[in-house]
Structure 1
Amino acid sequence: MSRMIRITFTVLALAIGGPVAAQDVELPYWASIDTSEAYMRSGPGEQFPIMWVYTREDLPVRVVRLLQGWRYIEEPDGTLGWMSASLLSRQRTAIVIGEDLLPMRADPSEASALRWNLEPGVVGLLGECSAGWCEFEVDRHAGWVEQSRLWGAGEP
């Protein structure tokens, strides 16, 4: 009988403690939209109005608050709202910011060979960043770009 009680308490502890532990993360942090359609809402629940519909998978967002399966996020233009945690990934991505083309280089140096020029608004996978340069991959084309031209790189 005591074995059954221990099993019951273990199951209850996991059921109650799991969601609490999932919310025990350091804020803010970077995330990205993990679906082809995601809704930003005015509050943390499906009963709240939809403010924006995102159709851009991998768009980077900054998570600034957590509440029971919902994330209060900031997107690249500064818009803030709530999104279901199930629509987000911890995959690091970034978006090219600024007005001019961003050179993607073979190595982390302005003197390095030019691979491609990226337009503002291009979204890609973010790799390691060091000394003002970040590894960046767009449609399987990889290289190095200046970190200051990426929203989603660096500390959130």
Structure 2
Amino acid sequence: MKHFIRGLSLGLMLAICAGFVAAPKAANAQATKAVGSNTGYPLPRYVSIRNAPAHLRLGPSKAHKIDWTLMHAGMPVQIIDEEGLWRQVKLYDGLRGWMHKSLLVGARSLLVVSDGRATIHSKADGDSRIVAYAERGVILRTPECTPRWCRVRKGEIKGWISRRQVWGVDANETFK
């Protein structure tokens, strides 16, 4: 039986689109570092939002204005810089801001960004059985990515999705 996974709410999609078009983008004045100055972890790297709501601020402190409130736990973000307990992150649409490290978790997730429906297969093979379809905006958990495929889970649905259909993993990155 094939399943269909619905995407983000219309309100969030409109907010994301509005952010892509109208939100001021924070300039990253510093060059990207090879590793984070506080953690020693690679930069850039992907993590997920721990809980929602999660505030995206204009700078690395609570004194800085909240620019956006993100409403979906598990959404992937890319850490591009570190300053103390704060992480500068980039969203899939290029929007940047600062989040406290307590709002982030190292568990990996992916965001479906393909136009139309993304297919989730039973194996890491485009000819394998399709187990589900996912709309643009669906968040999937992933424990593993190969050069062309990522193993994913959403509720009871498990399978493999082509890396071309998702955001949250670098082009040459593999992990297990």
Question: Structure 1-normalised TM-score?
Answer: 0.83
- Is the contact made by 1:126 and 1:153 (CA closer than 8 Å) also made in structure 2? no
> Which residue of 59, 66, 71 maps to 1:55?
71
* Number of matched pairs: 137
Q: Deviations over 1:55-94 (max 9, x none)?
A: 1000000000000100000011110000000100010000
Secondary structure in structure 1 of the residue aligned to 2:123 = coil
Instruction: Letter of the 1:39 partner, please give it.
Output: H
Any gaps of 5 or more consecutive residues in structure 2?
A: 1-35
**2:101 paired with 1:85:** yes
Higher relative helix content: 1
Q: Distance in 1 between matches of 2:139 and 2:99?
A: 20
Query: In structure 2, do the counterparts of structure 1 residues 79 and 21 end up closer, same or farther at CA, with 3 Å as the change threshold?
Result: closer
Instruction: Letter of the 1:120 partner, please give it.
Output: R
* Percent pairwise identity: 27
Once the two structures are TM-superposed, the CA of residue 140 in structure 1 deviates from its matched residue by: 2.8
Q: Distance in 2 between matches of 1:148 and 1:98?
A: 7
Once the two structures are TM-superposed, the CA of residue 21 in structure 1 deviates from its matched residue by: 8.2
**Deviant stretches of 4+, over 6 Å:** none
Secondary structure in structure 1 of the residue aligned to 2:164 = helix
Instruction: Letter of the 2:132 partner, please give it.
Output: W
**2:147 paired with 1:138:** no
Specify the structure having the higher radius of gyration (Cα).
1
Any gaps of 5 or more consecutive residues in structure 1?
A: 1-19
Once the two structures are TM-superposed, the CA of residue 133 in structure 1 deviates from its matched residue by: 1.0
Instruction: Letter of the 1:65 partner, please give it.
Output: D
